[in-house]
Structures are given as structure tokens and as C-alpha cells.
């Protein structure tokens, strides 16, 4: 019998693109495999009327898919790694992370080519406290307002004039063929990305050895180690993707450089730390400890319900 894999994914166009990307890679790596995509609705998709950071709980975009994985209704779950909490439910693990796309945030506007071109009081849409904090740190004259919905919904709201600009992940726009909407790819020195941004992760049941074998050719070792370092930092800080926490690990020869950030949502306090090494877990812990020594825990505690 040909092997069969059922992929669990969110139903948004970007999430489905990611699932199809995994399907295509699986079919190339394992000729003859049958792959079905199961679309699901998550809490994060349903709860659209409030800012993400006010909704409470972790894994708003993954927990229903993880429940289906544990119930053996699907064989793998495909996630944007920036949506995945630092710790998985017992019995699950991220077994493979694919090669990373562009990690940068994208400034999207129909009338302005750069954030510095925006007039005082211009409305910028973003659902991310991380993006809000860093944008206000550099451009305090702006009004950063909450913006929810999938990529198409956010673009439509801007096109209707509800916002002068919006901030999205460059990777998502590129994957959807919308790279022409990027007015300015924001350097990581101005907007450090979310933990795992631009990376697609594949989650499995820890005891499913056959599925692990099938998906292993999809893993990109260098990306996997970078995301592991970022998630190690996030785990020590609290492991919640809703918080204004940012990290980026990059290989520089045989050494990995990890930059971390924790900020207050208004950008008034912005803590940064950097470390270099070749052991991802230890590197993440070292950067987290630097941030905690600067007072990161106080910022995080103020935001948790």
C-alpha cells in the first residue's frame, strides 16, 4: 500500500498555501505518497473582534489542529512557526522545519513608500504588539491601531482607506504572490522579527515513527537550528507568541548570532540582547537571561491576564 498522510491546517489562504507546499514537497520526496489536506478553523480565526494579546491563552492559531493531531484525525499539522508556542502539548513535537523565507516585516501602503514618509497621526494597522512597539520606538508620531484578519482582509481594509499603511510579514506576501504590495521591506535592525517568522513547521505525534521518517527529507538543518535557538529564548521568557518579544538567529560561518528583544507596547521601553555560539538551546537561554536581567519579566507580567 502507498503511504497516506493527512495534513491538518488552518483554512486561511496563506495556511492552505503552506499545507500545499508541504504536500508538494512530500510527494517529491516520497513518490507515490497520498496526501490529503484537512482544513480547520481555530480560535484565532473565530475571535476577530479583539486584539490578539487580550484573548488569553497560548496557541490561538494551533490548538484545535493539535487536538485533531492527538485524536489521530490528522497525521501532521502544518504551522507558521511564529504562531507556535514554545512548548508543545505532551505527545506532540515539531519534527521538521523547512527552509526559511524572508524574515522581514513589510511596510505596505498605497501612498507612502517608507514609514518616515507618513504624516503625524497617520494610522498604521497591525495585530502584533511586537511590531507596534518597534514602529512606535522609531516613529512615535504615528497611530498604530489593531488590525485582524487574513492577508486579503487586511489589504482590503487598507485599500478602503481605514489605514494609511499596514505591517505584514514579507514571507506571507511573497508566498501568496503579492510581493508587489510591499512598499518597503523593513530591515531587521528596525523591526526584529517574531520568533520563527518566515519558517514553516511540521508537527507530529512523538510516537509516530513512520510519519517522522516520511517528513524528514523536508527538514532544513540550518533553519531548524536557528528557530530552535529563537524558541529556546522564548521558552525561558514565557513562550507566548502574543507578547512583544522578537528574536532572530543567523549563522555566521560556524557560529550562530542570536538577537533578542522585549519591548513595552508603546515602545517606551525596549530591551535588547545579543549572544553568539554554536549550541542553539544554550544560546537562546543566554539571550533570555540577559533580557531578564534588564527587567524583561516586568514588561511581560504587565501584559499577561
| H or E stretch covering 184 | strand 184-186
DSSP state of 10: E
Supply 153's cell numbers.
482582509
* 83 counts as catalytic: yes
Contact of 229 with 201, CB cutoff 8 Å: no
CA distance 91 to 205: 6
For residue 3, the tally of other CB atoms under 10 A from its CB is: 15
Strand order, beta sheet including 4-10? 34-40, 4-10, 76-80, 200-205, 92-97
C-alpha distance from residue 281 to each of 34, 162, 225, 240 (Å):
35, 42, 9, 17
Q: Give me the catalytic one of 45, 83, 105, 164.
A: 83
Half-sphere exposure of 242 (CA within 13 A, CB side): 20
Known catalytic residues are 83
Amino acid at each position: 500500500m502507498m503511504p497516506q498522510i493527512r495534513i491538518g491546517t488552518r483554512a486561511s489562504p496563506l495556511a492552505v498555501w503552506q499545507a500545499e507546499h508541504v504536500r508538494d514537497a512530500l510527494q517529491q520526496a516520497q513518490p507515490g505518497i497520498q496526501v490529503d489536506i484537512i482544513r480547520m478553523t481555530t480560535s484565532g480565526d473565530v475571535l476577530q473582534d479583539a486584539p490578539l494579546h487580550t484573548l488569553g491563552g497560548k496557541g490561538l492559531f494551533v490548538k484545535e489542529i493539535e487536538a485533531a493531531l492527538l485524536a489521530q484525525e490528522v497525521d501532521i499539522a502544518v504551522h507558521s512557526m511564529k504562531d507556535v508556542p514554545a512548548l508543545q502539548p505532551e505527545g506532540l513535537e515539531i519534527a521538521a522545519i523547512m527552509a526559511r523565507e524572508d524574515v522581514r516585516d513589510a511596510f505596505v501602503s498605497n501612498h507612502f513608500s517608507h514609514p518616515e514618509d507618513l504624516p503625524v497621526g497617520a494610522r498604521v494597522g497591525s495585530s502584533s504588539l511586537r511590531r507596534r512597539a518597534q514602529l512606535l520606538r522609531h516613529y512615535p508620531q504615528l497611530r498604530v491601531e489593531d488590525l485582524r484578519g487574513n492577508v486579503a482582509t487586511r489589504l482590503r481594509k487598507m485599500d478602503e482607506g481605514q489605514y494609511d499603511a499596514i505591517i505584514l510579514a514579507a514571507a506571507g506576501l511573497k508566498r501568496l504572490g503579492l510581493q508587489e504590495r510591499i512598499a518597503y521591506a523593513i530591515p531587521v535592525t528596525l523591526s526584529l522579527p517574531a520568533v520563527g517568522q518566515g519558517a514553516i513547521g511540521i508537527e507530529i505525534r512523538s510516537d509516530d515513527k513512520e510519519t517522522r521518517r516520511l517528513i524528514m527529507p523536508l527538514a532544513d538543518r540550518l533553519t531548524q537550528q536557528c528557530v530552535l535557538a529563537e524558541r529556546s529564548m522564548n521558552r525561558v521568557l514565557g513562550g507566548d507568541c502574543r507578547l512583544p518579544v522578537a528574536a532572530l538567529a543567523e549563522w555566521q560561518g560556524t557560529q550562530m548570532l542570536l538577537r533578542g528583544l522585549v519591548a513595552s507596547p508603546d515602545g517606551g521601553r525596549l530591551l535588547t540582547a545579543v549572544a553568539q555560539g554554536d549550541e542553539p538551546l544554550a544560546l537562546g537561554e543566554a539571550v533570555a537571561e540577559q533580557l531578564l536581567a534588564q527587567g524583561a519579566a516586568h514588561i511581560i507580567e504587565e501584559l499577561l491576564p
